[in-house]
Amino acid sequence: MKILVTGFDPFGGDKINPAIEAVKLLPDKVKGAEIIKLEIPTVFNKCAEVVKAAIKKYQPDYVLNVGQAGGRYALTPERIAINIDDGRIPDNDGYQPLGEAIHEDGETAYFTQLPIKAEAKAIREAGIPAEVSNTAGTYVCNHIMYQVQYMRDKEFPNIKAGFIHIPFLPEQVVNRPGVASMSLDDIVKGLTAALGAIVERDGQGDLVAVEGKTH
């Protein structure tokens, strides 16, 4: 089994992005699965081109995109990606779409094929905070999650894909009082646990467990 794991480069004025820093530190194998690590640009559309080329090259069974969610205290596997780009800030190429569809011929939304409840449970069992998220936002994180699902829908039906958000690193919140952060070691530990859950649940679907929210 092969799992392609991607992490974004720094954006929004930060000099570091925990996503790619954590991805680079992941083990090369998790529970027998080969982990393929890829840095992608925080740029609408261009990030999808890089991921698509990697899918064609490596033919992974799974794709897990990782992104920073500043302000969240936990690792949060994402349930759904929506067909809209609405940038709160420009991307790293200066592009800022405002309420634009990602693909006119795409679905309104796509659900992940990954076992998000099993991922959250495994992360917590590793001693790291985790919960299922029902919004990946409208920036480049949602964009790449949607784009990979669109690729699956149109071109790569055999892959299973999803997204997980991670918190800021401590050094990123020095001048952000009251904002949550997590050590890089803990983020790597949590992502490794999530990957283990993906491998273990292969062919079984997700856990039946409580992860619902009222809002």
Active-site residue, selected from the candidate residues 119, 141, 143, 211: 141
User: Is 155 part of the annotated catalytic residue set?
Assistant: no
Beta bridge partners, 78, equal: 133
What distance lies between CA 97 and its chain's CA centroid?
20
User: Is 47 part of the annotated catalytic residue set?
Assistant: no
Active-site residue, selected from the candidate residues 47, 78, 119, 211: 78
Give the C-alpha separation, 88 to 143, whole Å: 13
Active-site residue, selected from the candidate residues 47, 119, 143, 165: 165
Tokens of 18: 């925990």
Give the C-alpha separation, 94 to 68, whole Å: 19
Tokens of 154: 């149109």
Element (H, E) at 21: helix 18-25
Element (H, E) at 51: helix 46-58
User: Is 78 part of the annotated catalytic residue set?
Assistant: yes
Residues assigned a catalytic role: 78, 141, 165
